[in-house]
Structure 1
Amino acid sequence: MRDFLEQIKTDYDTPQDDFEAKIYKRYADRTRKFSIGYAVWCHASFSLYIIGPFLNHTEERPFPGHTKYPLDEDKYYWFIVSHQSICTFTVSAITAAVDALFVMLVHHICAKFAVLGYNLEKIGEDLSESPSAQDELETYKKIVNCVKKHKEAIGFADSMESAFSIPTFINLTMNMIVMSTSGFVMLANVHSIPNLVKYIGLSVTLTVHLFFMSWPAQEMMDHSAEICEFAYFASWYRTSQRSKNLLKFLMMRSQVPCKLTTGKLYVMSLENFCAVLKTSMSYFTVLKSLRD
């Protein structure tokens, strides 16, 4: 993780021109807005777990979670409620922080591809119809630099995929299980408003969480695939033959988009996000039929 952050710092400290700096800043602003909004959402949704004791007006006093304490639960009721509330908001803060870090890394990869696309678009635009050998050499060096940037962005994406593959696999598996079972529990608590609100909030929270993991991954795939288009619309026809050959290799490599997977089995994308929701609903239907 330190290597990722050091690479990000290096990229922000060494932009080649003002426009590159603006690109990095634009993606950083998007990450900041996401982090703030997602943190607010996490705290708001997790608060649904602790509203039961405050909404309840019956003699039976419920707890936010079903947990056994080595204490007199009636005597220390509000102490237990406070402890569970603090734990709930701690989990909420950790979830928001980890997901914000994930999105920050993905958005930085997108920024690297955007910077690469900007540099590719400028290839050959300053060449005349009969460029000098020195001008052709300078253009070739620019293309070599673009290839290096492309390789660097792909390496960053591959390293991130390796680092997050297993954690996201565990996360996805637990999401599917909990989303399916929470729907079943909602049916069992349809007459208990506090519990119903709690499990509806859980289902919505997990769905939003999965979406905000799949959406940046989809953006990264799209950004990496767009490199071929940037190279195609550059003024490559003015460059030398060796420059054209180098661009061909770059375009061929960009035909394979960078992907984030969970356990090397599931590709994180909006298409697969919809597939997971469909699968979860199928499991929920099976559980419902067993209950009936």
Structure 2
Amino acid sequence: MISFDSLHISLNRTLLLSIGLWPYQQSNLVRFQIVLLFAILTTCIIFQFTTFLTSKCTPDLFISVFSSALFFVTFVIQYTWFCINIKIVKCLLEQLLNMYNELTDEHEISIMKECGSYAKRYTIGLMLIFIIFVPVIILYPFWPHFLDILLFTNETLSRPPLSRIFVTEYFVDQKKYFYLILLHGNAALFVGLVTVLATGTLLIAYQQYACGMFRIASYRLEQALAVDTLRKGSLRNSLIYKKLIHAVDMHREAMRFSDSSISRFKVMFSFIIVVGVISASLNFFRLFQVLSFGYDAEELFLPLLSVIVYTSYVFVGDYVAQKVMDHNNDVFATAYNIQWYTASLNIQKMILFLLQRSTKIFSLNIAGLIVGSLEGAVTLLSTTLSYFTVLYSIRT
């Protein structure tokens, strides 16, 4: 019996536990944790929109508020959707575990272990990036003070206005409560980034195991019509039929699992795509404004972070989806390259039906908005830049 530890998802489990989204330990304390983290995220967004209650709504203020607020909205969407669909996360994990337990061939087990190690490397790599850059991001407003201490200068540095980092209205004296307000913003940013890291790496793990299933299907096709086996005549047609059926079953299971891990969250991805494109377009515009009309490091911080997170999310997600498509195509390439012509006519007809299936392209479609692939990533970024161009032309 294979346990979850054999799936190489211990790091994913730790990340999900840290934000209360691990589906197997939902105690009252965890529910309180979910409510607390959700409150941190939502109140950060609310106190950005309350700026419109006390300030005149100008185009610049509108862009400043919405560019940062929508960035946090994407975190809320992802966190909320995983909370609502936590049973689906559990169901997918159990499907994966059951499939793993049914494997008996040592080579097939080694394929799944290899794919699990790839998923773990993705998680480790993204965690290292998070560990390195998040402290820099959180301590960003205090870097002038640290440099003052390190260089032993006696200059008194004033704190940068919060409006340069992100626009908020807490209905209190922002100078007096500067650190508390900054703590709230940093906490929301930290929770949001951990949410993206935890849920994103879990989805990557799902797709990596789907790639393993496609590889197993290719391996079973090769074994069903192994050249040396056919020459010896040691296999009857019924045994070849059985192996071909096992290969097709694994191929269907791989497509079903891969599609389920995306389609169950297609509404979430749809909202993230729409909100993310708008947010990234606004932040591209803010970056252009800051760099064109006077460099201000504080104002550059949040737009730059938003663009980096958005671009990384799009390219990593679409790259993994592209790998799934490539592994699916490899199954049909294997079916074409095996020496099917040495088999009986009935078996050749079965393989012909399998090859006909290759005419229907398998892709990870997100609610009809975009196809998960490198081409889809370029399309999203092109759309973002198009909206930025429109916004720039309107403002000028």
Q: Same fold (TM over 0.5)?
A: yes
2:301 aligns with 197
Q: In 1, Cα distance between the equivalents of 2:270 and 2:131?
A: 24
Does the 8 Å contact 1:220/1:258 carry over to 2? no
Deviations, residues 52-87 of structure 1 (Å, cap 9, x unaligned): 421353354427543332544333322222222122
* Offset at residue 124 of structure 1 (A): 2.1
* Offset at residue 187 of structure 1 (A): 2.6
1:173 aligns with 274
Q: Does 1:92 align with 2:193?
A: yes
* Offset at residue 218 of structure 1 (A): 0.8
Q: Does 1:28 align with 2:113?
A: no
Q: In 1, Cα distance between the equivalents of 2:203 and 2:197?
A: 10
2:42 aligns with none
* Offset at residue 111 of structure 1 (A): 0.8
Shift of the 43–71 alpha-carbon distance from structure 1 to 2, 3 Å rule, reads farther
Q: Does 1:127 align with 2:215?
A: no
- Give the stretch that moved more between structures: 57-66 or 222-231: 57-66
Q: In 1, Cα distance between the equivalents of 2:169 and 2:375?
A: 41
Q: In 1, Cα distance between the equivalents of 2:232 and 2:109?
A: 33
Deviations, residues 147-195 of structure 1 (Å, cap 9, x unaligned): 2112222222332342122211111112211111101111333321122
Q: In 2, Cα distance between the equivalents of 1:91 and 1:69?
A: 20
Pick one of 71, 79, 101 that aligns with 1:13.
101
1:226 aligns with 330
2:57 aligns with none
* Offset at residue 51 of structure 1 (A): 4.0
2:245 aligns with 144
Q: In 2, Cα distance between the equivalents of 1:95 and 1:241?
A: 52
Q: Please, what TM-score do these two structures have when normalized by structure 1?
A: 0.90
Unmatched 5+ stretches in structure 2: 1-88, 145-156
Does the 8 Å contact 1:114/1:223 carry over to 2? yes
Q: Which amino acid in the other structure matches residue 2 of structure 1?
A: K
Count residues in correspondence.
Answer: 291
Deviations, residues 69-115 of structure 1 (Å, cap 9, x unaligned): 25443333222222221221111111111111211111111110011
Q: In 1, Cα distance between the equivalents of 2:252 and 2:140?
A: 53
Unmatched 5+ stretches in structure 1: none
Q: In 1, Cα distance between the equivalents of 2:174 and 2:301?
A: 24
Pick one of 367, 376, 389 that aligns with 1:272.
376
1:156 aligns with 257
Shift of the 122–158 alpha-carbon distance from structure 1 to 2, 3 Å rule, reads same
Pick one of 159, 162, 168 that aligns with 1:62.
162
Task: Please give the secondary structure, in 1, of the residue aligned with 2:236.
Answer: helix
Deviations, residues 211-252 of structure 1 (Å, cap 9, x unaligned): 111111111111112211111222322322222222221222
Q: In 2, Cα distance between the equivalents of 1:290 and 1:30?
A: 46
* Offset at residue 198 of structure 1 (A): 3.0
- Give the stretch that moved more between structures: 10-19 or 107-116: 10-19
Task: Please give the secondary structure, in 2, of the residue aligned with 1:127.
Answer: helix
Q: Which amino acid in the other structure matches residue 178 of structure 1?
A: S
Q: In 2, Cα distance between the equivalents of 1:18 and 1:223?
A: 20
Shift of the 121–70 alpha-carbon distance from structure 1 to 2, 3 Å rule, reads same
- Give the stretch that moved more between structures: 258-267 or 203-212: 258-267
Shift of the 43–255 alpha-carbon distance from structure 1 to 2, 3 Å rule, reads farther
* Offset at residue 145 of structure 1 (A): 1.2
1:103 aligns with 204
Q: Which amino acid in the other structure matches residue 103 of structure 2?
A: P
Q: Please, what TM-score do these two structures have when normalized by structure 2?
A: 0.68
